[in-house]
Amino acid sequence: MLIPIITSCKEPDSVPSYVLDRMLACGEVHAFERSTGWVVVGRDPIRAARRGAYQGHERRRSVSFQMQSFAA
């Protein structure tokens, strides 16, 4: 799905979402359109590209733990 954008050079364009993520990270986008309307970068909230490693309690079992359970 292509997302309408306005580049930092104020040119209209449409890009796939994975390209938009890269362009946002490089500062190449002035605005882009969401289902709720236009978002202006630097004025409106956008999600962070990477928030770092998960800091909460690990709830998934590791493969080695599962294998040990079967051996018992």
Domain that holds residue 8: 1-47
> How far is residue 38 from each of residues 9, 20, 21, measured CA to CA in Å?
17, 14, 16
Residue 18 covered by a domain: yes
Residue 63 covered by a domain: no
64 band by pLDDT with thresholds 50, 70 and 90: low
Residue 60 covered by a domain: no
Residue 71 covered by a domain: no
Q: What is the pLDDT of residues 12-63, one digit of tens each?
A: 999 999 999 999 999 999 999 999 999 999 999 987 655 556 667 766 665 5
Residue 41 covered by a domain: yes
pLDDT at 70: 56
pLDDT at 66: 54
Residue 54 covered by a domain: no
Residue 42 covered by a domain: yes
